[in-house]
Amino acid sequence: MNTFIEKQNWRYATKKFDATKKITIEDLDFLKEAIRLSSSSYGLQPYKVLIIENPELRAKIQPAAWGQSQIVDASHLVVFANVTEIAEPEIDSYVQNISATRNLPLEALSGYADFMKSKILSLSPEFKNTWSAKQTYLAMGNLLNAAAEKEIDVTPMEGFIPEQVNEILGLNKLGLNASLIATIGYRHTDDDTQHYKKVRKSQEELFITL
C-alpha cells in the first residue's frame, strides 16, 4: 500500500494524549513549515497560527473548548486565527513579499494587486470573515498530513467557543478570530479510539465521474 495511504489509515482524531510525551523542536519546526507552505486563495494566507505551550494559558482555554482533556494533555495546542476583515494593508504586504521573493518590481505586480483588491475589498465584512476562515482549513489539512507522516497525533477541533478563546488570547484587538484548534502530541496507550476501524464512505458512494 502507498505510504501516504498507510499513514492516513494510521491517523485518527486522538481522544486521549500522553501528557508525558513532548514533540521535539525539530518535529515542531517540520509541522510549522508544513503549515507555512499550505495553499490559500491568492496565496494570501489571511490568518495567524498560534502555538501555545504555556500550561496556564491552556488551562484557561480548556473550559472554552468544552472541557476537552486534549487541550491540556497534548504536547502543543495550535490555534488557527483568521483575519476577520481583509483590507488593503494585507494585500499590499503580500504583493511586496512577492516582489522581494521573486525579484520583481512592484510596478509589474500592480495589475495583480488591483485585481485582488477588486475581488476582495468589495466583499461584505461577514463574507470576508467567512472567506478567510475557510483558508485555515487548508492549513489544518497540511498539518494533519504532515503530522501523520511523522506519526504525530493531531486532533482537529471545531468544538470550542470562539468568542471566549478570542478574549483569552486577546485576538479581537488584533483583528483575528479563532476559527480552528488542533492539539498535537502522542496518543495514550489507554485511548481505545486508536483501535477503532476507520469509517468512511466507499469510493462508489463518494465519487461521481462525469
Q: Please report the DSSP string for the chain in residue order.
A: --HHHHHHHH----SSB-TT----HHHHHHHHHHHHT---GGG---EEEEEE--HHHHHHHGGGGTT-THHHHSSEEEEEEEESS--HHHHHHHHHHHHHHHT--GGGGHHHHHHHHHHHTTS-HHHHHHHHHHHHHHHHHHHHHHHHHTT-EEEEE--S-HHHHHHHHT-GGGTEEEEEEEEEE-B-TT-GGGGSPP----HHHH----
As a whole number, mean pLDDT of residues 161-174 equals: 98
The CA distance from 153 to 146, in Å, is 10
pTM of the model: 0.95
| Rounded mean pLDDT, 167-173 | 98
User: What burial letters (b/e) apply to 132-145, b meaning 16+ CB within 10 Å?
Assistant: bbebbeebbebbbb
Distance CA 63, CA 161 (A): 9
Please answer whether residues 13 and 155 qualify as being in contact, where contact means their C-beta atoms are separated by less than 8 angstroms: yes
140 band by pLDDT with thresholds 50, 70 and 90:
very high
Task: Calculate mean pLDDT across residues 154-173.
Answer: 98
Tell me the average pLDDT of the chain: 97
What's the pLDDT at 2?
80
Q: Which fold has domain 22-84+133-187?
A: NADH Oxidase (3.40.109)
Domain with CATH 3.40.109.10 in the chain: 22-84+133-187
Q: 81 with 50: CB under 8 angstroms? A: yes
Map grid coordinates 486565527 to a residue: 81
pLDDT > 80? residue 111: yes
User: Has residue 84 got a pLDDT over 80?
Assistant: yes
State the pLDDT at residue 127: 96
Percent with pLDDT over 90 in the chain: 99
Residue 151 pLDDT: 98
Quick one: average pLDDT of 109-121?
Answer: 97
- N residues, the chain: 210
Q: What is the pLDDT of residue 1?
A: 59
